[in-house]
Chains A and B, each alone.
Chain A
């Protein structure tokens, strides 16, 4: 099917060009007030050396909560849509397992030509290392580039590696979909509780409950950990489901 670049498309394109060109072409100097404010105060107010972490886990943690919720809903929706199949042609209900390339259950494994020895060796050895690296990125987010989301995605790829199994045909418990869903659900509950925990010590919602103690940065570390777990397990679950195996 070729693209139809007809009159309407060109009209839309020209309209958008006319509207966006002034915005993108402007040479107004980029504002420095936020940067200056943050350079002075961010480390004192939040305790984090990584200013970007200080922003999205401190000043604007509400946006991060919204983003985590978008991830949660998207994963639920994607799994829900992929696992219900209808067809106008009249097929009966199929489950996603039949239409995938990589099957994860050990019985079908040897027969699938796309699984090679190379793959099994690599994923078996690299999986735990990637998982460890993911935890490092997640927990060090307040000191160096990294954080909950970045670490979470690396953890998800570690889970995928573990799910692909190793030479001996073992699969780790971490790739069991039910456990992943359990961890994810608890992580979301923890996230809501941790962000409301400010109330106990007198800070408002999303405020730092450890603000006047010795380690205000502990709040950011905990948030990083919870978000990393949530993101990691939900993306891992999504990838495993798309790959076709939910033993």
Chain B
């Protein structure tokens, strides 16, 4: 009945159908039961059914099957080509898992309503379409859909700063997309095609005089995508946007939306002769991002901002591994190993960052205090708000242990993979330093749970715990499970990404690595104690107060584009 091409198209059509059904809930009154049926039915069709489809597609993917074609079956000269391979399967899995967990969480924390459900499902559909597309203009449209759903969902938290964050994000992202169009113009002019394969073919046979145009167009495309990924120096919009959005949306933004454009870009770069050089510069930028992100995170006092800066740091890890993978070539053994490491860190980060956003979100919703320096004794507050077992603290602990790379949690495995694949280069030193900082800042964040000697009554807000606990426990168990069964997962991911079924030298539990982990933790504890000193906290205060203003977003974008262009030109 349905060919394989149609089955993969359902990965993005099902959420759209779900969204259309969820919107139908607006046709009837809010109180009527059929409205709820429409809304939740739409959500099931849009979030659960695609996971079923993915399970169906898995056996074929493991065999190395790649499904390509033209959407609609039209001709290749003008039509939209797509490519569904292991990478698309993995990103879809990542996207739908986090989206499902975030939707369950939002059933309690808000925002709620058929419009929210519909827009949330549209965002998931756009994620699936972005990673599947093989057409430059279709990538533009998909990125715009991702963007506009973010601009609309961020202000729904009701915090006044969220609107400003959404405005800044909108302006810089929309401008970047116009630059993307200019890049599309350049590449279309040289090659006469919009599909990746057509462009690659055209570039191979192009007039040597047009090389400058190709380089400039590529650098503009990369910069426009890099803004979505928030590497240095293009990170300025992320802290406000992720910190002030509703908790469920923060999880999806941090977990999925900053990674999918990166992996979609790898489809473009793989076909360009100079794609490898782009990868090298991005890899360096990734290492710097990982380190600077932690430094900025250490200085923050707002809990969600701290998590947002950590997202920047962790995406630095992913970009570093990804960049070096592109540099070495995805089809070489080292390149494939690096790509596996990049994807695994992206997946595990989405799991534990989502978990952290949910746990911190629950805690701050109850205590109404977001300042890490001021909040204490949250376990007791949570208990008095109605949580009988300290589940939120346990899930926070799971997330914190994951991000600080403690065994047997998943962060331990993925950071080991990234570190060992990059061993010896400058980037790996930056990553080690970032690891120390991560430990320190999570000790700082966990302070909100420490019991206090004199407890005075704090006003707590009573909230519904069940959906939140469900989502938190789901992600926490996934964090532990993916950590314990890591070798098996690595095998699957390796097969899907490049036919590598075993990674040589994979030994995260070797004495060498355990000593390294231990010394990172000790270093982190020392750093945390050092942060209490007045002169250190003075420096941290100064760092915190230097925020990037609106103009800075554009200056950094321009300089980043020019730097990439210069790097490729020379």
Contact = CB atoms under 8 A, between A and B. Distances in A.
Q: Indicate, yes or no, whether A interacts with B.
A: yes
Interface of A: 8-9, 11-13, 15-16, 18-20, 22-24, 26, 28, 30-34, 37-38, 41, 45, 55, 58-63, 65-67, 69-70, 72-74, 76-77, 80-81, 84, 86, 88, 181-182, 185-186, 188-189, 191-192, 196, 198-199, 203-208
What is the interface residue range for chain B against chain A? 35 or more
Contacts of A55: 78
B189 A26 contact: yes
Given A66-B145, A185-B24, 7 more contacts: A19-B220, A23-B216, A63-B80, A77-B152, A191-B20, A204-B9, A205-B71
B127 interface: no
B285 to A, nearest CB: 16
A19 B183 CA distance: 10
B191 interface: yes
A43 to B, nearest CB: 13
A59 B182 contact: no
B74 A207 contact: yes
A15 B179 CA distance: 13
A37 B78 contact: yes
B145 A70 contact: yes
B217 interface: yes
Interface in B1-53: 2-3, 5-6, 9-10, 13, 16-17, 20-21, 23-24, 26-27
Enumerate the 8 nearest inter-chain pairs by beta-carbon distance, A residue then B residue, closest first. A31-B192, A77-B152, A206-B72, A66-B141, A12-B558, A15-B562, A15-B558, A189-B20
B212 A16 contact: no
Contacts of A24: 182
Contacts of A76: 115, 118-119, 152
A11 B72 contact: no
A34 B192 contact: yes
Given A15-B558, A86-B158, A192-B17, A31 B77 contact: no
A73 B23 CA distance: 11
Contact of B192 (A19, A33, A188): A33
B72 A205 contact: yes
14 contacts: A15-B562, A18-B565, A23-B182, A26-B212, A28-B207, A37-B75, A61-B72, A63-B80, A84-B158, A189-B24, A192-B13, A192-B17, A205-B6, A208-B72
B72 A26 contact: no
A26 B186 contact: yes
A23 B214 CA distance: 8
B78 A15 contact: no
Interface string B181-194: 01101101111110
Nearest to A27: B209
A246 to B, nearest CB: 14
B555 A8 contact: yes
A4 to B, nearest CB: 8
B111 to A, nearest CB: 10
A73 B554 CA distance: 26
A77 B138 CA distance: 23
Contacts of B192: 31-34
B213 A23 contact: yes
B164 to A, nearest CB: 12
A189 B5 CA distance: 22
Contacts of B433: none
B73 interface: yes
B210 interface: yes
Contacts of B79: 59-60
B71 A204 contact: yes
Given A80-B156, A185-B26, A73 B148 contact: yes
A73 B119 contact: yes
Interface of B: 2-3, 5-6, 9-10, 13, 16-17, 20-21, 23-24, 26-27, 69, 71-75, 77-80, 115, 118-119, 122, 126, 129, 137-138, 141-142, 144-145, 148-149, 151-152, 155-156, 158, 160, 163, 182-183, 185-186, 188-193, 207, 209-210, 212-213, 215-217, 219-220, 551-552, 554-555, 557-559, 561-562, 565
Contacts of B142: 66
A203 B565 CA distance: 43
Nearest to A88: B160
B4 to A, nearest CB: 10
A24 B182 CA distance: 9
Contacts of B215: 22
A188 B23 contact: yes
A204 B160 contact: no
A188 to B, nearest CB: 5
B2 A38 contact: no
B16 to A, nearest CB: 5
B149 to A, nearest CB: 6
A63 B558 contact: no
Contacts of B565: 18-19
Contacts of A67: 141
A214 B537 CA distance: 77
Interface-central residue, A18, A72, A73, A76, by most chain B CB under 10 Å: A73
Contacts of B69: 204
B402 to A, nearest CB: 33
A192 to B, nearest CB: 5
Nearest to A203: B73
B72 A204 contact: yes
A80 B115 contact: yes
Contacts of B115: 76, 80
Contacts of B217: 23
Contacts of A198: 72
A23 B73 CA distance: 33
B16 A192 contact: yes
Nearest to A195: B13
A196 B17 CA distance: 10
B30 to A, nearest CB: 13
Nearest to A67: B141
Given A34-B77, A69-B145, A207 B21 contact: no
A69 B122 contact: yes
Contacts of A59: 72, 74-75, 78-80
Contact of B559 (A12, A62, A73): A12
Nearest to A4: B551
B73 A207 contact: yes
Nearest to A10: B555
A70 B155 CA distance: 17
Contacts of A188: 20, 23
